[in-house]
Structure 1
Amino acid sequence: MSSRMAKLDRLLALVHALAEDAEGLTLDEMATRIGVNRRTAERMRDIIMMHFDLEDVVDGRVKRWRIVGRLGRMFTQPSPEELAALQTEIDGQHNLGQHARAEILNSLLGKIRGALDAKAKARTAPDLEALAKAQRTLFTAGSAASVPGETLAAVQGAIIAGSMIEFDYRAEGKEEAAWRRVVPYGLIHGSISYLVGKIPSGSLPPVYYRLDRMENVRASNQPGVVPDDFDLDEWLSESFGIWRDAQHDVMLRFKPSAASRAREWRFHPKQHCEDEPDGFLTVSFRAGGLRELAEHLFCWGANVEIRSPDELRSQMVEMLETSLSAHRAN
């Protein structure tokens, strides 16, 4: 894409963003949304103001802007690339065994395509077919579990209604399911889908519940509202993976031969990378879940040195000794 086309693409993207966000966007949010600096976002806002009814909204000491009214069809019509991206996600969810989520997305795709007029359908069909055929979600080895559609619907319904959710839960290693009633704090999707739920009484923190191990799922008649100060992304960042334990200050040092690859790797949402003069790369962050982190670092072999914490280094040594012992025995 040429520089001129890229600028036009960003301008149109900002038009869509200002029309779709009901609360409006600040200049900083505009800049972040389209990947430019604040001054460029300000110039683009002024251009948009010349052609659209751009309303400014004062929110305390912050000023926001939004486009009043709806955009015409020429601005809201989906492109073949957008439709193909959704189709690829649908196929990927099916391949993961997440058929319930795939059906929700497939229903959305059907509604979007159904809203197109005959001319638009004819125009996008060939490109959509070509792109959908040529794109796939990468399959990687790992745990996978299908979730019944009624289970997902019941959990989502409880979240929307602001009520607790009740279910029978068969924990790992247990032969019988036990009744649970929790406040639904959120849903985490991947090859395995989890409910983040908190038992209403007591001070126990929220925990994960695998959706595929939940039975007889139903919304409770008890209200279950998530506290305003709970941030799901912040909660997730407290641990490297699923298992949650005490947080530690993690520091990893990668050899020069692996520094380039490690720099492109995302170990943690809040990681900090620092280049050393001798070509080494240090990656640091704070998180729990040391066992899962050690299992991941295992694949880096001798390219990584665990600087801290000592508990993580001990986990790695234990894994290496166990693996070595098992392979030598055979």
Structure 2
Amino acid sequence: MSFAKAQDLLRLALMASTRHFGVSLEDIRAEFSVSHRTAQRMTDALELTFANVTKQTGSDRRSYWKVDDPTIAQLQPHQETAVEALEIASRRAKEEGRLRHAQALEDTRNGLMLRLSARDAKRAETDAEAVLEALGQVTRPGPRVPLNQKIADAVTEGLRGPFRLEIIYSGRSDQARTIEPYGLLLGPRSYLIAKQPDRGAELLNFRMDRIQSAKCLDEWFIPENGFSIENYAAQAFGAYHDPDQLKEVVWRFKPEAAERASEFRFHPKQTLQYQADGSLIVRFTAAGWLEMSWFLYEWGDAVEVIDPPELRDFVQGYQRADFPSLP
């Protein structure tokens, strides 16, 4: 057996011992990027190498392999990459104002370091720092509004319940509002997605930086059945939601911009279609024409709006031909 295969087998054994239900063939395929047949061979090797492997069928009718003796978990592979990942994630969380998540990531990182020997901990820390020094942070233009930690904590508590929140929101009135939180959209400006029962059943976007105070109430509510924050976010190109603008969007990138445009993920449910002349058609369904127009301006005259007509008219005449490079 090659060293690489031996390392993979050790990783598989650690996975099978630390996961409550064990690992399935689908887990192995995803973790090791292998075919179904290779995953089967890996479970065969696991059963052949370790005597304390059990196989059981889960409620999803999949087979799961479990290493029953947890002492295998004491075999610690090098943790440099895990330390790097946790530190990068912690720094990113701090930059985005998610202090609760940053603290949890730091605690996990510190717990990992405590389980290592002094020599391995020093090596992991040194190697991780070297990698972190070589990583730069691409700064996105525009404001990034930090989250108020007390408000973020109250919102998080409400989402976990789910419990209603009482908030003071700056705007036309500073009167307290009772809302039902559904989720958070994090970005340069973060939004709390919620319903305000006295205003109807419509989902509303509350800017987190405009919430002056928030208190979690001891009032449980039943969320709308089938709501998905992922699907809700996909209804907008950015943060702006408008049912009247929710239409199919079609952009055509010129042949000289097609390859560059194909590298972008404009929308989580986009489709790309190359044309006979080398141009690229991008399709998705979303609202937010103003945010789209801001983004499209960066492409100059390399992109054409096909649909909807309202967006096409909105950007017409603002395309430039003298931009020296593509985004």
Q: TM-score, normalised by structure 2?
A: 0.82
1:111 counterpart residue number: 111
CA distance, structure 1, for counterparts of residue 9 and residue 135 of structure 2: 27
Structure 1 segment 2-17 matched on structure 2, within 5 A: 5=4
- Segments of structure 2 that go 5 or more residues without pairing to the other structure are 321-327
Q: Is the 8 A contact 1:184 1:197 kept in 2?
A: yes
The 1:311/1:4 distance shift into structure 2, 3 A limit, reads: farther
Equivalent position amino acid for 1:39 in 2:
R
CA distance, structure 1, for counterparts of residue 56 and residue 26 of structure 2: 14
The worse-fitting range, judged by mean Cα deviation, of 47-56 and 204-213 is: 47-56
The worse-fitting range, judged by mean Cα deviation, of 98-107 and 305-314 is: 98-107
1:244 counterpart residue number: 241
2:35 counterpart residue number: 37
Deviation at residue 136 of structure 1 after TM alignment: 2.9
Q: Secondary structure at the match of 2:188?
A: coil
Structure 1 segment 134-213 matched on structure 2, within 5 A: 134-171=134-171, 174=172, 177-200=174-197, 203-213=200-210
Deviation at residue 111 of structure 1 after TM alignment: 3.2
The 1:16/1:227 distance shift into structure 2, 3 A limit, reads: farther
Answer yes or no: is 1:46 the counterpart of 2:47. Answer: no
Q: Is the 8 A contact 2:13 2:67 kept in 1?
A: no
CA distance, structure 2, for counterparts of residue 242 and residue 262 of structure 1: 22
Deviation at residue 85 of structure 1 after TM alignment: 2.4
Q: Is the 8 A contact 2:14 2:73 kept in 1?
A: no
Answer yes or no: is 1:122 the counterpart of 2:119. Answer: no
Structure 1 segment 63-78 matched on structure 2, within 5 A: 63-67=62-66, 69=68, 70=70, 72-75=73-76
CA distance, structure 2, for counterparts of residue 178 and residue 48 of structure 1: 63
Q: Is the 8 A contact 1:183 1:225 kept in 2?
A: no
CA distance, structure 1, for counterparts of residue 7 and residue 13 of structure 2: 10
- The C-alpha deviation readout for 1:117-139, integer Å capped at 9, x for no partner, is 32321231220221122223311
Aligned-pair Cα RMSD in Å: 3.1
Q: Is the 8 A contact 1:164 1:184 kept in 2?
A: yes
Structure 1 segment 264-283 matched on structure 2, within 5 A: 264-283=263-282
Q: Secondary structure at the match of 1:127?
A: helix
Q: Is the 8 A contact 1:184 1:224 kept in 2?
A: no
- The C-alpha deviation readout for 1:194-227, integer Å capped at 9, x for no partner, is 3222224665332222222223311111103434
Equivalent position amino acid for 1:89 in 2:
A
CA distance, structure 2, for counterparts of residue 142 and residue 18 of structure 1: 45
Q: Is the 8 A contact 1:99 1:146 kept in 2?
A: no
The 1:4/1:68 distance shift into structure 2, 3 A limit, reads: closer
The worse-fitting range, judged by mean Cα deviation, of 129-138 and 188-197 is: 188-197
Q: Secondary structure at the match of 1:59?
A: coil
CA distance, structure 1, for counterparts of residue 169 and residue 138 of structure 2: 31
CA distance, structure 2, for counterparts of residue 27 and residue 99 of structure 1: 37
Instruction: Give aligned pairs, total.
Output: 313
CA distance, structure 1, for counterparts of residue 229 and residue 18 of structure 2: 23
Structure 1 segment 240-319 matched on structure 2, within 5 A: 240-246=237-243, 247-317=246-316
CA distance, structure 2, for counterparts of residue 151 and residue 229 of structure 1: 27
1:328 counterpart residue number: none
2:324 counterpart residue number: none
The 1:273/1:83 distance shift into structure 2, 3 A limit, reads: same
The worse-fitting range, judged by mean Cα deviation, of 118-127 and 87-96 is: 87-96
CA distance, structure 2, for counterparts of residue 13 and residue 261 of structure 1: 37
Deviation at residue 78 of structure 1 after TM alignment: 6.5
* Identical positions, percent: 27
Q: Secondary structure at the match of 2:187?
A: coil
Deviation at residue 66 of structure 1 after TM alignment: 4.9
Q: TM-score, normalised by structure 1?
A: 0.81
Q: Is the 8 A contact 1:57 1:63 kept in 2?
A: yes
